[in-house]
C-alpha cells in the first residue's frame, strides 16, 4: 500500500534531479549582442543621462533652425571626446554632479525659454557632453564588445535627442509651447534630485 | 507521344532522390557564405561602409556610381593579397580611423573631389579585404571566400548608396540633416573606439 505513492513520485523526483539548480546562462554576456545591449541601456537606465539627452533635443527644437539639428550633431561628437577621457582613465572631478547639473541647466534654459546665440548654445551643450561621454567612456574598456557598446550608447543618445525634438515640435501651438516649458521645469527638478543625491544630501 | 516520353524522362531526372542540402554551409558553397557573412558580423566594417555610402550620396549619383566598382574590387584585391602579404600591425588602427574619418565627412557633408572619394573607398576596401582575408584557414576554399566577401561588399555598397541617394532626392530639407546626424553618430563611435585602441595600453 505504501509503495504506490512512492512509485508515482519517483519519476517526478528523477525529473527534478535533472533540473539544474544553477541559473541558466543562455546569454553569456559576451559578444556583439551583449555589448550592444549594455551600451544601448546605459543612457536609458541612467535617468540623469536620459533627461539631459531629451533636454538637448527639446532645447534645440525650442531654438528652432539651425539649432534643432546642430545641437544633436554637436552632442555625440563632443561626447566622444569625453569618452576618450573616460577610456584613457584621466580623472575628471565631479563628473556625476556635473551630469546632474546638466539636467538642471538645460531644464532651466527650456523652462525660461532662454534664446542664447547658437555658438554659446553649442558651447553649453558641448561642455555637458564631455561629462556625459566621460561617464559612458569609463565603462567602455570593460564592455563585452567595446565597439558594439559604443554603437549602442551613441544610438540610444541620438534616439533620446530625437524624442526631445519630437516633443519640442509641440511649440507650434501656444499650449504646446507651454507644455515644452513645463517639460523643461520637470527636467530641472529631476536634475536637482540627482545633484542632491550625488552630493549625498539625499539618499 | 514522343514529347510525353521526354517530359516523363525529365520529370524522373528532376525527382531523382538526392540529399536535400538545405544548409549550404555543408556544401562547397559554404565558404562563399562564410565570406559573405564575415564582414557583417562586426560593426567595425558595417559602420564605415554605410557611412561611405552616405558620403557618396552627398557627392551625387554620377560620382557615387564609381564607388560600386572601386569598392568591391579593392575588397577583392585586399582579400586576395592577405594570403601573400603579412598583415601590418597598423592595419586595425587604419580600419578604426576610417570609421571616424568617414563619419566626420558625412557629418560635415563635405564635397570631395572624385579621386579623393575613390581613394577613400579603395583604402577602405583594401584594408577590410586584408582583415577579412585573415579569417581564411587552410581548409577554406579561398576563391569562394574571397568572392563571398566581394559580393557582399558590392551588394551592401550598391543598396546603401542607392538608398541614400533616393533618400536625399525626397522632399524635405530635413533629409540631409538625418544623414549628417547619423554621420556624427558613426564619427562618435569611431573616435571612441580609436581612443580605446590607442589609449588603453597607456592605462595598463
pLDDT tops 90 at residue B195: no
pLDDT of A4: 57
Q: What CA–CA distance (Å, rounded) separates B150 from B73?
A: 7
In angstroms, the separation between the Cα of residue B200 and the nearest Cα of chain A is: 6
pLDDT of B197: 83
Cell, residue A192: 536637482
Q: How many CB atoms lie within 10 A of CB B24?
A: 11
Going by the DSSP 8-state scheme, the letter that residue A138 receives in this structure is T
In angstroms, the separation between the Cα of residue A67 and the nearest Cα of chain B is: 12
Q: What CA–CA distance (Å, rounded) separates B115 from B94?
A: 19
Better pLDDT: A203 or A97: A97
pLDDT of A135: 86
What digits encode the pLDDT tens for the residues B22-79? 555 555 678 899 899 988 988 889 999 999 999 999 999 999 999 999 999 999 999 9
What digits encode the pLDDT tens for the residues B140-177? 888 999 999 999 999 999 999 999 999 999 888 889 99
Q: What CA–CA distance (Å, rounded) separates A147 from B188?
A: 11
pLDDT of A28: 40
**What's phi and psi for A148, nearest 5 deg?**
-65, -35
The partner residue sitting opposite B200, judged by closest CB among A83, A141, A155, is A141
Q: Is the dihedral of CA B99, B103, B106, B111 positive or negative?
A: negative
Cell, residue A9: 513520485
pLDDT of A64: 87
Contact B39, B128 (CB under 8 A): yes
Q: Do B107 and A79 touch (CB under 8 A)?
A: no
Nearest residue of chain A to residue B200 (CA atoms)? A88
pLDDT of A126: 94
Nearest residue of chain B to residue A155 (CA atoms)? B185
Three-class SS state of B21:
coil
Q: What CA–CA distance (Å, rounded) separates B94 from A78?
A: 22
Nearest residue of chain A to residue B193 (CA atoms)? A147
**Residue in A60, A146, A152, A169 to test binding to B, most B beta-carbons within 10 Å:** A146
CA distances from B70 to A154, B76, B125 (A): 30, 10, 8
pLDDT tops 90 at residue A30: no
pLDDT tops 70 at residue B12: no
pLDDT of A42: 83
Going by the DSSP 8-state scheme, the letter that residue B40 receives in this structure is G
Contact B47, B190 (CB under 8 A): yes
Chain A residues lying within 8 Å of B196, measured CB to CB: 87, 140-141, 146
ipTM of the modeled complex: 0.76
DSSP string, B172-204: -THHHHHHHHHHHHHHHHHHHHHHHHHHHHHH-
Q: What CA–CA distance (Å, rounded) separates B162 from A188?
A: 44
Q: Do A137 and B47 touch (CB under 8 A)?
A: no
Cis link prior to A66 (omega < 30° from 0)? yes
**Residue in A31, A39, A80 to test binding to B, most B beta-carbons within 10 Å:** A80
Cell, residue A1: 500500500
N-terminal to C-terminal alpha carbon distance within chain A: 62
pLDDT tops 50 at residue A176: yes
Q: What CA–CA distance (Å, rounded) separates A61 from A71?
A: 9
pTM of the predicted model, to two decimals? 0.79
pLDDT of A27: 41
**Residue in A43, A66, A67, A73 to test binding to B, most B beta-carbons within 10 Å:** A73
Contact A84, B199 (CB under 8 A): yes
Amino acid at each position: 500500500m505504501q509503495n504506490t505513492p512512492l512509485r508515482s513520485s519517483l519519476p517526478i523526483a528523477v525529473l527534478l534531479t535533472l533540473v539544474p539548480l544553477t541559473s541558466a546562462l543562455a546569454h553569456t554576456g559576451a559578444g556583439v549582442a551583449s555589448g550592444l545591449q549594455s551600451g544601448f541601456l546605459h543612457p536609458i537606465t541612467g535617468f540623469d543621462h536620459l533627461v539631459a539627452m531629451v533636454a538637448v533635443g527639446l532645447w534645440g527644437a525650442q531654438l528652432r533652425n539651425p539649432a534643432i539639428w546642430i545641437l544633436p550633431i554637436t552632442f555625440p561628437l563632443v561626447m566622444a571626446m569625453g569618452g576618450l577621457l573616460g577610456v584613457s582613465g584621466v580623472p575628471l572631478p565631479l563628473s556625476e554632479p556635473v551630469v546632474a547639473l546638466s539636467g538642471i541647466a538645460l531644464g532651466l534654459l527650456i523652462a525660461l525659454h532662454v534664446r542664447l546665440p547658437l555658438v554659446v548654445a553649442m558651447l553649453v551643450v558641448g561642455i555637458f557632453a564631455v561629462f556625459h561621454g566621460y561617464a559612458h567612456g569609463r565603462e567602455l574598456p570593460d564592455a563585452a564588445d567595446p565597439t558594439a557598446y559604443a554603437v549602442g550608447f551613441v544610438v540610444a543618445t541620438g534616439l533620446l535627442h530625437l524624442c526631445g525634438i519630437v516633443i519640442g515640435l509641440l511649440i507650434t501651438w501656444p499650449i504646446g509651447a507651454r507644455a515644452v516649458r513645463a517639460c523643461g521645469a520637470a527636467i530641472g527638478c529631476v536634475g536637482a534630485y540627482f545633484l542632491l543625491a550625488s552630493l549625498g544630501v539625499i539618499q | 507521344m514522343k514529347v510525353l516520353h521526354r517530359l516523363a524522362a525529365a520529370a524522373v531526372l528532376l525527382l531523382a532522390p538526392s540529399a536535400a542540402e538545405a544548409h549550404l554551409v555543408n556544401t562547397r558553397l559554404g565558404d562563399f557564405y562564410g565570406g559573405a557573412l564575415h564582414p557583417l558580423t562586426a560593426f567595425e566594417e558595417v559602420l564605415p561602409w554605410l557611412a561611405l555610402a552616405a558620403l557618396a550620396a552627398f557627392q551625387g549619383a554620377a560620382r557615387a556610381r564609381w564607388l560600386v566598382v572601386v569598392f568591391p574590387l579593392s575588397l577583392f584585391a585586399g582579400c586576395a593579397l592577405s594570403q601573400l602579404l603579412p598583415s601590418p600591425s597598423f592595419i586595425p588602427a587604419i580600419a578604426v580611423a576610417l570609421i571616424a574619418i568617414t563619419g566626420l565627412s558625412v557629418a560635415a557633408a563635405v564635397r570631395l573631389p572624385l579621386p579623393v572619394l575613390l581613394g577613400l573607398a579603395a583604402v577602405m576596401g583594401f584594408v577590410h579585404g586584408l582583415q577579412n582575408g585573415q579569417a581564411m584557414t587552410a581548409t577554406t576554399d579561398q576563391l569562394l571566400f574571397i568572392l563571398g566577401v566581394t559580393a557582399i561588399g558590392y551588394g551592401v555598397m550598391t543598396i546603401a548608396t542607392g538608398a541614400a541617394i533616393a533618400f536625399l532626392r525626397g522632399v524635405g530639407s530635413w533629409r540631409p540633416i538625418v544623414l549628417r546626424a547619423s554621420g556624427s553618430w558613426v564619427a562618435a563611435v569611431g573616435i571612441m573606439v580609436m581612443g580605446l585602441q590607442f589609449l588603453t595600453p597607456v592605462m595598463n
